[in-house]
Amino acid sequence: MIARAAPPEHFQYLVERAGVYPSPLFKAIEAVDEKGTVHGMFGYDGWTRNAVVMHVALDSPAALRTLLYPAFQYPFLQLGLGVALCAIRGDNARSIRLTEHVGFRRVCTIRDCFGVGIDLMIYELRRENCRWLQTRKAA
């Protein structure tokens, strides 16, 4: 599996799996197999001068392994941004576990945002706290 820039015609992958509504400035990287089938994608939108909102959808652990390093190197090293943000439904335990596992920390909870009892969780990861910026060691 390889990581590469996702062409706009592949953005539907994130739309369908993560409910993302891409703006004209939306960018993404994808994990694809040798046939070109998409198995995971990190998207970037909601840009400011120093931050970006990240979105993710994954079909396999292999896609996550393929994308983790480039997913954070793009905003932090290539673009020089200082902050990555994520917004997650409070009832999406799987996404919350993944987000916290890769190093994001919760900075805000907006109660009842998606409906009574369904909160919106806002997470941040600062460049200086990102462990995915070093080169991956060969297996």
Pairing of strands 2-5, 27-32: antiparallel
Percent of the chain residues topping a pLDDT of 90? 86
Please tell me the predicted confidence (pLDDT) of residue 139: 45
Report the pLDDT averaged over residues 82-101: 94
Please tell me the predicted confidence (pLDDT) of residue 138: 47
Residue 136, pLDDT > 60, answer: no
| pLDDT band, residue 19 (cuts 50/70/90) | confident
Q: How far apart are CA 4 and CA 48, in angstroms?
A: 23
Report the pLDDT averaged over residues 11-33: 93
C-alpha 42: how far from chain center:
4
